[in-house]
Amino acid sequence: MQKIKTALLSYGMSGKIFHAPFLSLHEGFQLTGAWERSSKNIQNDYPGVKSYSSLDELLDDDVQLIVVNTPVATHYQYTKMALEAGKHVLVEKAFTTNAAEAEELEALAKAKDVKLTVYQNRRWDSDFLTAKKVLEEGVLGDIVEAEIHFDRYNPALSPKAHKETGEPGAGILWDLGSHIIDQALQLFGFPQAVFSDIRVTRSGSKIGDCFDILLYYTDKRVRLKAGFFMREPVPAYILHGTKGSFLKHRADVQEDELKAGRQPNEKGWGTEPADKEGILHTEVNNEVIRKKIPTEQGSYFSLFNGLHDAIINNTEEPVTAAQGVAVMKIIDAAITGNKLKQVIQL
């Protein structure tokens, strides 16, 4: 398999946990190194790779793919520099700080004839894949109302300053919101209008850390919610249709497994505990049923498989820049709607 030389723009948690393990194990990628500004750690984990001292040094190397996994406020600048250098780019979520920046990068990637992918790894979470499968099977009938939650209990402020100072792109809307907005668009398409309520709930916080967003469609309403004071979380996926309902808690294990040092090629990777199965309560062939639904296996490797295919065989990216732009348009509308306390037509 043809290898793609790939470098990271940082080697903190994102690089160490979510990117390097997959790039080093995938036979289609060659991890060449990372841009490390102070601490030099990547060579301890991956002997033989480079620790770049500057972005210019990295861009001058024969790297083909650059992973922009720096704070959101830098995504536009660094992605633009990489694209202008003729590199393919995998940019972390949130894509940018606003839709205008995202649209400019989308156009630049097309002009340079390179691939631009947004790292929406949560499309390959086991819980989301299960909810998606239930929808596609049509056992719920026509969806009338749906909710997607990303609830956590974590009142403490982040030790990472860039996440708490209120800089562009900081806050739960860009962090967790970008995931569940993307998931909603994948399941239901682009809405007609948006209403939002964004609040600050943690003591000392300078950023929005709780949101409630309504996406309006002609035939359904979709609610998206996230916050840091949900000690007892509700199901992450709540789908109500004309025939029945499906409820599923957020239970994907991949992030925890990566943090624990497990490798994504190990047997049983991405397999949820059986007691986390979702509940389907619906009607099939005039018979009412209520049963647990086996959970799909999660696999972030699928994103990297799709990205390799896109670069080598010129297929569509696993998460396109256009899809990233759509998420940013929802975020822009949510910010405007919260400020004006109005429904924003799209």
Cα-flanking dihedrals φ and ψ of residue 228, to 5°?
-115, 10
| 135 within a domain of the structure (yes/no) | yes
Q: Classify burial at 167, counting beta carbons within 10 Å of its beta carbon; exposed 0-12, middle 13-18, buried 19 or more.
A: middle
Same domain, 187 and 336: yes
Same domain, 115 and 236: no
| 55 within a domain of the structure (yes/no) | yes
- 135 against 168, higher pLDDT: 135
pLDDT score of 137 more than 90: yes
Let me know: does 105 contact 320? Beta carbons within 8 Å: no
222 bridge partner residues: 146, 215
| 71 within a domain of the structure (yes/no) | yes
pLDDT, residue 299, reads 95
Same domain, 99 and 145: no
Q: Report pLDDT digits (tens) over 288-338.
A: 999 999 999 999 999 999 999 999 999 999 999 999 999 999 999 999 999
* Greatest distance between any 2 Cα atoms in the chain: 66
Instruction: Give residue 156's pLDDT band: very low, low, confident or very high (50, 70, 90).
Output: confident
Let me know: does 143 contact 221? Beta carbons within 8 Å: no
The structure's pTM equals: 0.95
| 153 within a domain of the structure (yes/no) | yes
CA-to-CA distance for 241 and 282, rounded, in angstroms?
9
| 249 within a domain of the structure (yes/no) | yes
Same domain, 61 and 144: no
Same domain, 88 and 152: no
pLDDT, residue 163, reads 73
Q: Report pLDDT digits (tens) over 22-67.
A: 999 999 999 999 999 988 899 999 999 999 999 999 999 999 999 9
pLDDT, residue 288, reads 96
N residues, the chain: 346
Q: Report pLDDT digits (tens) over 197-223.
A: 999 998 888 888 999 999 999 999 999
Let me know: does 214 contact 147? Beta carbons within 8 Å: no
pLDDT score of 164 more than 90: no
Lowest-confidence region among 80-89, 161-170, 186-195:
161-170
Instruction: Give residue 240's pLDDT band: very low, low, confident or very high (50, 70, 90).
Output: very high
CA-to-CA distance for 210 and 200, rounded, in angstroms?
6
| 83 within a domain of the structure (yes/no) | yes
Instruction: Give residue 278's pLDDT band: very low, low, confident or very high (50, 70, 90).
Output: very high
Same domain, 107 and 141: no
Range of the domain at 275: 122-297+330-345
pLDDT, residue 170, reads 85
Q: What is the CATH number of the domain that holds 340?
A: 3.30.360.10
Lowest-confidence region among 89-103, 119-133, 167-181, 306-320:
167-181
Same domain, 293 and 169: yes
| 323 within a domain of the structure (yes/no) | no
| 141 within a domain of the structure (yes/no) | yes
Q: What is the CATH number of the domain that holds 40?
A: 3.40.50.720
Same domain, 65 and 153: no
pLDDT score of 160 more than 90: no
Same domain, 225 and 161: yes
Query: Distance of alpha carbon 154 from its chain centroid, rounded?
Result: 20
Mean of all residue pLDDT scores within the chain: 95
Distances (CA, A) of 137 to 201, 223, 229, 283, 303: 39, 22, 34, 13, 23
Same domain, 310 and 278: no
Same domain, 225 and 243: yes
Same domain, 281 and 308: no
Average confidence (pLDDT) over 250-256: 96
Q: Classify burial at 87, counting beta carbons within 10 Å of its beta carbon; exposed 0-12, middle 13-18, buried 19 or more.
A: buried
Count of the separate structural domains present in the chain: 2
Average confidence (pLDDT) over 62-81: 97
pLDDT score of 12 more than 80: yes
